[in-house]
Structure 1
Amino acid sequence: MSGFRLVFLSLLPVLLVALPADALELCVKVDKNGAPKDGAPIRLRAACRQKKSGDPIEVSIGTTTQLSLGAALEKYLSVDTTENIVRFEGANVQIRSGQGSSEGEGDRYSPTVNGLGNLIIGYDEPDEHYPDKTGSHNLVIGPYHSYTSAGALLAGVGNVASGPWVALAGGEDNEAHEFASAVVGGVYNDALEEVSVVVGGWRNEASGTGAVVVSGEENVASGEQSVAGGGKGNVAEGPGAVATGGRDNRVTGIWSAVSGGYRNTAGGRYSSISGGSDNETSADSSSVSGGRYNKALANAASVSGGDFNSATGEMSWVGSGDGNTASATKSSVSGGSNNQADAMWATVGGGRNNVASGHYSVVSGGWGNQAIGRDSAVSGGEDGVATGIVSSISGGSINRAEGRASTVSGGSGNTATGDNDHLP
C-alpha cells in the first residue's frame, strides 16, 4: 500500500483546490482481491463504479468533505502510534450539545440539556438506582455517575449531579443538588442547597445556602452560611452557626459556636461553648468554656467550668466549682460548691452553701454564710449572717451582724444589733 499512500498524499494539494460544495467520493480501482491497487489514480466521482454484478470496480477511500477536514486537523492533531497518544496542540477543543445555548431561556439556573455535549472519560457504566445521564456539557470521569443538568464535574464512583454548575471531585456515592454546590471526596456526602460544600468525611450534609461541612461523620450544616467541621453527629442549624469537633453538639443560635465536647447546645445570638459536655447557652453573647452540665442562660452570662453551674442573670459569671448559681445582673460566683449570688453585683468567692443576696454584697468563703444587707460582707467562718447595710462578719461561727455598719470580727454566737456595733 506504500505506493497508494504516496499517490494519495501527492494529490492532496490538487484535491483541496476548489472542492465542490457537495461531497464527492474519492475512488480508486481495486485488485482481484477487492483491495485498492497500489499506485492507482484517485478519481473524484459522485459514486464509485461497480460491475453489473454488483462487484466493485472501485472503492471509496473517503470523501472530499473528509479530506478537507483531515487537512484542517493536520495542523492541530498528531498521533503517536508508538506511545498510543493522540495530541491536540495550539487549539481549543469545544464540545457542544447542539442546542444553541447553555442557558434555558436566558436562565443560568435552568440550563437546557439533551444528554449530549458531555466529555466522558471511562465507560460511564449506569447505576441501577440513579441511571439518569440526561445532562449536557458535563465532564464525567469514572463509572456509575448520574448527571441531569449542565456544567458539572464528576469524578470518583457513583456520584449524582442534579444541579447546574456543580462539582463532585472524587469519593463515592456523593450528591450535589443545587446551583454551584460541591462535594470534594468522602462517601455518602450531600450538598443540598445553592453554593453549599462538603469536604470529605462520611454521611455529612450541607443543607443550608452557602453552608460548609468539613470532614467528620454524620455532621449537618443546615443554617445559611453555617459550618460543621469534624467530629460526629454535630449540627449547625442557625444562620452563621459553627459546630467544630466533638460529638452530638448542636448550634441553634445565629452566629453562635460550639468548638468541641459532647452533647453541648448553643442557642441565642453570638453565644459560644468551647468544650465539655451537656453544657447550654440560650441568650445573646452567653458562653460556657467547659465543664459539665453548665448553663449560661442570660445575655452576656458566662460559666468558665465546673459542674452543674448556672449563670442566669445578665452579665453574670460562675468561674468553677459545682452547683453554683449567679442569678442576678452582674452577679458572680468564683468557685466552691452550692453557692448563690442572687442580687445585683453580689459576689461569692468560694466555700460551700454560701449566699450573697444583698446588692453589692460579698461572701468570700466559708460554709453556710449569708450576706443579705446591701454592701454587706462575710469573709469566712460558718453560718454567719450579715443583714445590716454595710455590715460585716470576718469569721467564726453562728455570728450575726444586724445593725447598720455593724461588725463581728470572730468568735461564736455573737450578734451585733446596733448601728456601728463592733464585736467582740
Structure 2
Amino acid sequence: MNNVTIRNSIMLVLAGTLSAPAWSLTVAQRLAALESANTALKAKVTSLQTALNTVKNNSVLKLNGKLRVNARGDALFTGVNVQVVNGQGSTLTANGKGNLVIGYNEVDPVVHPVCSNFSFSTKADCTAAGAVWSGSQHKGSHYLIVGTKNTYLQYGGIVSGYGNAGSAPFGNVTGGIYNTAQEGFASVSGGYQNTAKGLYSAASGGYMNTASGEKSSVSGGGYNVASGEGSSVSGGGGFTSVNGAEVGTGNTASGKFSSATGGVFNAASGEGSVVVGGGYFTTDPFMQLIPYGNNATGLLSSAIGGRSNVALGEISTVSGGQSNSANAHLSNINGGYGNKTIGLNSNISGGDFNTTTGANSSVNGGGYNNAQGDLSTVSGGAK
C-alpha cells in the first residue's frame, strides 16, 4: 500500500468522525481521530461477538437433528420429550398458559356456562360470590385441550369434546358434550351434560347424570344421581314428558357405598344398600307424574325388581312383586303384593297382604295371613 492509498483511507475514516477536512488537521488531531474510530470499531466488534455467542449458546440449536419437517409438512421430534409449562415454576398454578391445544380453541361464552369458582353450581351463587359465569373460559394451565368451545380453569387435566368444562384441579373430561368435571380429580367420560362434582368421582356416558358423592360413580342411563360416598348408579333412569316438560326418571344412590342398577325411580339410601332393576311410573288425570320406584333404606338392605317395594330393615331383602315392605332385621319378601315382615329374621314368599309378626316366622303364599308366633309358619290359604 503506497502513501496515497494510506492517506485516502485515513481521510475516509476521519470523514465519519470530523467535520473539518482531514488535510486541514494536524498529525496529532488525525491520530486522535483514528484512535476514536478504532475504539468505536472495537465496541462494534465486541457487540457482534456477544450476539454471536448468544446465538451459539441458544439451546434451540440443540434441536438440530431432533426436529425436522417431513415431506407432508409435519414437524417431527425425534429422541426428545416435548414439555409445555406456564412459566410460574409449578404445575399447581394457573395463568392461562402452558397448555397443549389441538385445534382452533374457539370461544363461545354462551355454550355450557360454568362458574370460574368450582365451588358454585348456579349462576346466582356464582355471581353473588364475585366469580365469572360463562362458557369457554381459558384461565387454566397444563391442560391437554382437544375440540372446541371448552372451558379449563385450574391445572393438570384433559378436556376434549364440545363445550365441556374442567373447572377443578386435575379434573378430566374426555369427549361428549356439555359435561363438567367440577371437583378435584373428578372425571367425565363422554355422554351429554353429565357432571362429576364429588372428590374422585366419575361419570361415564349417558345423559344428565350426576356423581356428587366422594368417590361416587354413574355409568350410563339418564338423570341418575350418586350422592353417597362411594356410591354407584349403573344405567337405568331416563326421562319422560309431562305437560310438555322433560322430567327425569333416574335412580339415586344416596347411602354410603350404596348402589342402584337399572330400572327407574329406584333409590338406595341405606349404607351398603342395593337396588337392582324394577320401578315404574305413570301420570294421574291431572298429568302429574306418579313414581313407583323401589327403595332400599336399611343398612345392607336390597330391593331387587318389582315396584314400590321397600327394604327397610337391616340386611333385609325384597325380591320382586309390588308394594311389599321388609321392615324387620334379616327379613325377606319374595314377590307378591302388599306383604310386610315385622318379625326378626322372618320370611314371606308370595301372596297378598301377608304379615310376619313373630321372630323367625314365615308365610308361604295365600292372602291376608299373619304368622304371629315366634318360629310360626302359615302356608297358603286366605284369612
TM-score for the superposition, normalised by structure 2:
0.66
Look up the equivalent residue of 1:296 and give its one-letter code: A
Q: Report the equivalent of 1:252.
A: 227
Change over 3 Å in CA distance of 1:194–1:325 after alignment to 2: same
- Is contact 1:79–1:85 with CA below 8 Å preserved after alignment? no
1:172 is aligned to: 148
The alignment partner of 1:20 has SS state of helix
Determine the C-alpha separation between the residues in 2 that align with 1:285 and 1:86. Answer: 54
* Structure-to-structure mapping, 1:91-102, within 5 angstroms: 102=87
For 1:75 and 1:371, the matched residues in 2 are separated by 86
Q: Which letter maps to 1:142?
A: G
Corresponding residue number in structure 2 for 1:278? 265
Q: Partner residue of 1:337?
A: 337
Tell me, what secondary structure is at the counterpart of 1:171? strand
* Equivalent in the alignment of 1:404: none
Equivalent in the alignment of 2:185 = 210
1:140-191, Cα deviation, whole Å (9 max, x unpaired): 4433557xxxxxxxxxxx96532221221x211111211212213x211111
**Is the Cα–Cα contact under 8 Å of residues 338 and 353 in structure 1 kept in the other structure?**
yes
Partner of residue 110 from structure 1, selected from 88, 93, 99: 93
Correspondence 1:42-57 to 2 at 5 A: none
Q: Structure 1: which amino acid aligns with 2:210?
A: V
Q: CA deviation at 1:107?
A: 4.8
CA contact (8 A) 1:228 1:234 kept: yes
Q: Is the 8 A contact 1:77 1:86 kept in 2?
A: no
Distance of 2:103 and 2:318 partners within structure 1? 57
| One-letter code aligned to 2:344 | M
CA deviations 1:394-424 (Å, max 9, x no partner) are: xxxxxxxxxxxxxxxxxxxxxxxxxxxxxxx
1:227 to 202, 208, 211: 202
2:64 to 72, 76, 79: 76
Distance 1:276 1:194, change over 3 A: same
Task: Report percent identity of matched pairs.
Answer: 32
TM-score (norm 1): 0.60
Give the equivalent residue in structure 2 for 1:407: none
The Cα shift of 1:267 comes to: 0.8
**8 A Cα contact 2:100 2:143, kept in partner:** no
Measure how far apart 1:375 and its partner are: 1.4
- 1:243-392 superposed matches below 5 A: 243-262=218-237, 263-292=250-279, 293-383=293-383
1:76–1:89: 8 Å Cα contact kept in structure 2? no
Report the Cα offset of residue 281 of structure 1. Answer: 1.2
Aligned to 1:23, what secondary structure does the other structure show?
helix
Distance in 1 of aligned mates of 2:344 and 2:67 = 86
CA contact (8 A) 2:100 2:144 kept: no
Q: What's the CA shift for 1:351?
A: 1.0
Corresponding residue for 2:127?
A: none
CA distance in 1, matches of 2:320, 2:79: 70
The residue identity in structure 1 corresponding to 2:257 is: Y
Secondary structure class of the residue paired with 2:46: coil
Count residues with an aligned counterpart: 286
Q: Do the aligned residues in 2 keep the contact of 1:76 with 1:91 (CA within 8 Å)?
A: no
Contact map agreement 2:105 2:148 (CA 8 A) in 1: no
**Within 2, Cα distance between the matches of 1:282 and 1:81?**
60
Contact 1:181 1:192 in 2 (8 A): no
Question: Considering only aligned residues, what root-mean-square deviation do their CA atoms show, in Å?
Answer: 3.6
What corresponds to 2:242 in structure 1? none
How far is the alpha carbon of 1:85 from its aligned partner? 5.7
Q: Tell me the CA shift for residue 359 of structure 1.
A: 1.1
Deviation for aligned residue 1:363: 0.5
Residue in 2 that maps onto 1:21: 46
Q: 1:207-234: per-residue Cα shift (whole Å, max 9, x none)?
A: 0111111111011110001111111111
Distance of aligned partners of 1:166 and 1:374 in 2 relative to their CA distance in 1, 3 Å threshold: same
Among 156, 160, 175, the residue aligned to 1:200? 175
Q: Distance in 1 between matches of 2:69 and 2:259?
A: 64
Question: Aligned equivalents of 2:203 and 2:343: distance in 1?
Answer: 39
| 1:181 has 2:157 as partner | yes
Q: Residue 122 of structure 1 corresponds to which residue in structure 2?
A: none
What does 1:401-420 align with in structure 2 at a 5 Å threshold? none
SS in structure 1 of the partner of residue 184 of structure 2: coil
Query: Which stretches in structure 2 are left out of the alignment for 5+ residues?
Result: 1-43, 108-134, 238-249, 280-292
**Does the CA contact (< 8 Å) of 1:251 and 1:257 recur in 2?**
yes
Q: d(CA) in 2 for partners of 1:229 and 1:82?
A: 39
What letter corresponds to residue 147 of structure 2 in structure 1? G
Shift of 1:89: 8.3
Aligned AA for 2:271? D
Distance 1:67 1:374 in 2: 95
Q: What amino acid is the match of 1:218?
A: Q
Aligned residue in 1 for 2:166: 191
Higher helix proportion: 2
Q: Is the alpha carbon distance of 1:183 and 1:364 closer, same or farther for their aligned partners in structure 2, counting shifts above 3 Å?
A: same
Larger-Rg structure: 1
Q: CA separation in 1, counterparts of 2:278 and 2:220?
A: 16
